[in-house]
Amino acid sequence: MSKSFPSGTVALRDASFHVAKGEFVFLTGHSGAGKSTVLRLIYAEHLPTKGRVHVSGFSTDKLKRREISRLRRRLGIVFQDFRLLEDRSAEKNVAFALEVTGAKRSVIVPKVMRVLAQVGLTAKARNFPSELSGGELQRVAIARALVNDPFVLLADEPTGNLDERASRGVFRLIRDINANGTAVVMATHNLDLVREGGYRTIELEQGAIVFDSAVDEQVAS
Amino acid sequence: MIQPLTNRWQAENRMNHAIREALLVFRRWPALSVLSVTTIAFALFVASLYSLVVINLHRTLQSIEERVEIVVYLLRGTPVEVATVAVREIEAFPEVASALYVTAAEALRRAQAELVEFQGIFSEFETNPLPASLEVRLRPGFRGSDAVRTVAERLRAYNFAEDVQYGGEWVAKLDRLRNIGGIVGLLIGGAFAMASIIIIGTTIRMAVMQRAPEIAIMRLVGATDGFIRRPFLVEGCIKGALGGAAALGLCYAAFAAINAFLFQAQFFTTAQSALLVGVGTALGLLASATSVRKHLHRV
């Protein structure tokens, strides 16, 4: 897939890769290398100008506008800046992702409690974003991403705004999520986490894939 | 049977969510909500105050129009029977609302009652100098100068008609006034309506823009356009209705002040008051629908 913008900027050029069910993939590279663009193409924020993206039965070349919401309900998305609603408590932020699917209240409440427990925030369920630390905010965002039982978690620099300790906590949580069967595609600058994780790593440079550890391993074997 | 029930439940659930979210906006952003409603109220107030002026002018014009009358003065000696038959004939004209036979004696009695300062002169008359007449009033819609002239010509054809008078000049002036009033009213009214629509549209748009991050998050977690749009539409309706009601209140205050200090005016009828609130609601809905649609197409 390739992605260029009307201004002429080429964000991604002929990048091609496949993520298997339950796999953990790091996207690395400098700022502007195209990591976020890859994620945006996966959750159909942008459509590729060349090529296509296949995600769980959805293909961007046939994707209709109304299908985008259905695709996103199958994904969990986490950002560096959390993107929480400031005027709602942690539990309401998480519940929000279920409300948009039209879920019943009787389903929403236990599910929200379950994911908040999973991210270790049961005690802060009623707290508002302004009352939470960076690490806690990211946990709320992860809980929101998890509440719809996604088959893949897309994380765009999830530790970018966190200190060392909070980063490790969030990363541990994401690893646990992956261990439970959810695929993870995580864009990061943090090479320590990449080294520590030991997962497949795709490196981007100026919009092109310059390294894919999976391919490297295949060649080696 | 399960599927339709589920669909109905989902539709109800979606609507309940939309109403709940719309009402929550007033609690989450009270200042912005009050500002929106106030702006809508004043935009509608200006337009509705103008409507009130137009309605009162129209009523005044109507009451003047009601005075449009054709008087047929009868030749002396015209038998009462002939005049009575003519009255029946004239009343059958499609343009005529009523025709009244006024005897010479009745004309004199009226003159004496209305022109008190000439009481002495009237008493000096040995014979009644006033002729009998037929007073013909016209139906609404036939009070324009052309219609009046046509009826007057037909009345003039009666052989007992000595003279026919209808104040041709002032009827023509009334016609011109009505036409000018109609055009000016339409132009100014159109300008006021346009200004109100733009102000309400901008106000609602600002409220939508203020919630752009929320809309972006909604889309990210998989909300459909309809799900995002519905609370905004309900909110637009509520703000429009509240603005309309507030405008009605302001209009009433202005009307009460005019009645107390200037002159007797008439207020909106219940139907017109309901229409004002309805227009506010519809404009709020329309402005929200347009703003959210534009916004959703961008994100």
Q: Reply yes or no on whether the pLDDT at A24 is more than 80.
A: yes
Q: Which of B10, B216, B223 sits opposite A100 (nearest CB)?
A: B223
Which residue among B165, B193, B215 closes a domain? B165
Q: Is the pLDDT of residue B30 over 90?
A: no
Statement to judge: residues B139 and B276 lie in one domain = no
What's the one-letter identity of residue A41?
Answer: L
Q: Under an 8 A CB cutoff, do B220 and A102 touch?
A: no
- Domain tally, chain B: 2
- The H or E element containing residue A202 is strand A200-205
Token digits of residue B121? 């002169």
The mean pLDDT of B56-76, rounded to a whole number, is: 83
- Asked if residue B241 belongs to a domain, the reply is yes
Domain boundary among B101, B135, B165: B165
- Residue B116: is its pLDDT beyond 80? no
| Total domains present in chain A | 1
Considering B23-37, B53-67, B88-102, the range whose residues carry the highest mean pLDDT is B88-102
Residue A15 lies in a domain: no
What CATH number is associated with residue B108? 3.30.70.3040
Q: Which domain holds residue B193?
A: 13-63+176-298
In this structure, the answer to whether residues B186 and B236 fall within a common structural domain is yes
Report yes or no on A8 lying in a domain. Answer: no
Tell me: do B238 and B109 sit in the same domain: no
- B221 in a structural domain: yes
Is B185 found in the same domain as B56?
yes
Position B298 pLDDT exceeds 70: no
CA-nearest residue to B229 within chain A is A100
Q: What is the CATH number of the domain that holds A117?
A: 3.40.50.300
SS3 state of residue A187: strand
pLDDT at position A221 is 65
Whether B8 is covered by a domain: the verdict is: no
The answer to whether residue A189 sits within a structural domain is: yes
Same domain flag for B260 and B244 = yes
> Does one domain contain both B131 and B231?
no
Written as one letter, the residue type at B123 is: S
**How would residue B1 be classed by pLDDT, with cut points 50, 70 and 90?**
very low
Q: Is the pLDDT of residue B258 over 80?
A: yes
Average predicted confidence (pLDDT) for chain A: 91
Distance CA A170, CA A134 (A): 10
Distance from C-alpha of B176 to C-alpha of B156, rounded to nearest angstrom? 25
Instruction: Classify A20 as helix, strand or coil.
Output: coil
> pLDDT higher for A104 or A209?
A209
Is the CB of B219 less than 8 angstroms away from the CB of A69? Answer: yes
* Residue entry with tokens 């549209």: B201
For residue B58, tell me if it sits in a domain.
yes
Contact list in B for residue A65 (CB cut-off 8 A) is 225
Residues B34 and B81 in one domain: no
Cβ neighbors of A129 (< 8 A, separation 6 or more) are: A82, A84, A85, A86, A90, A93, A137, A140
Neighbours of B280 (CB within 10 A): 29
Label each residue of chain B as H, E or C.
CHHHHHHHHHHHHHHHHHHHHHHHHHHHCHHHHHHHHHHHHHHHHHHHHHHHHHHHHHHHHHHHHCCCEEEEEECCCCCHHHHHHHHHHHHCCCCEEEEEEECHHHHHHHHHHHCHHHHHHHHHCCCCCCCCEEEEEECCCCCCHHHHHHHHHHHHCCCCEEEEECCHHHHHHHHHHHHHHHHHHHHHHHHHHHHHHHHHHHHHHHHHHHCHHHHHHHHHCCCCHHHHHHHHHHHHHHHHHHHHHHHHHHHHHHHHHHHHHCCCCCCCCHHHHHHHHHHHHHHHHHHHHHHHHHHHHHC
Q: pLDDT tens for residues B212-226? A: 888 888 888 888 888
For residues A95-104, average pLDDT:
86
Specify if A1 maps to a domain: no
Q: What percent of chain B has pLDDT over 90?
A: 11
Same domain, B189 and B51: yes
What gap in Å lies between CA B47 and CA B263, rounded to an integer?
Answer: 21
Question: Is A102 within a domain?
Answer: yes
How much of chain B exceeds pLDDT 70, in percent? 94
pLDDT higher for B213 or B9?
B213
Alpha-carbon torsion A203, A208, A211, A217, what sign? positive
Instruction: With respect to residue A97, please indicate whether it lies within any of the assigned structural domains.
Output: yes
Do residues B99 and B135 lie in contact, with contact meaning Cβ atoms separated by under 8 Å? yes
Domain, as residue range, for A151: 20-220
Neighbouring CB atoms inside 10 A of A40's CB total 19
Instruction: Report CB contact under 8 Å: B222, A96.
Output: no
B171 lies in some domain: no
Q: How would residue B7 be classed by pLDDT, with cut points 50, 70 and 90?
A: low
Query: Do the domain assignments include residue B3?
Result: no
Q: Is pLDDT larger for residue B250 or for residue B203?
A: B250
Asked if A102 lies within 8 A of B219 by C-beta distance, the reply is no
Of the three residues B165, B194, B214, the one that is the final residue of a domain is B165
Q: Are A171 and A151 in contact (CB under 8 A)?
A: no
Using a CB-CB cut-off of 8 Å, the residues of chain B touching A43 are 220
Q: What is the mean pLDDT of residues B272-294?
A: 89
In a domain, B6, yes or no: no
Average pLDDT of the segment spanning A114-133: 93
Reported in sequence order, the residue ranges of A51-170 that DSSP labels E, i.e. its strands, are 54-55, 58-59, 75-79, 152-156
Distance CA A84, CA A141 (A): 7
* Domain co-membership, B58 together with B201: yes
Shared domain check, B115 and B241: no
Contact A100 B10 (CB under 8 A): no
| pLDDT for residue B168 | 65
Same domain, B290 and B193: yes
Please report residues of B whose CB lies closer than 8 A to that of A148. Answer: 221-222
- The nearest CA of chain B is from the CA of A79 a distance in Å of 11
B225-261 vs B2-28: helix axis angle to the nearest 10? 50
Do both B51 and B74 map to the same domain?
no
Quick check: B237 and B284 in contact, CB under 8 A?
A: yes
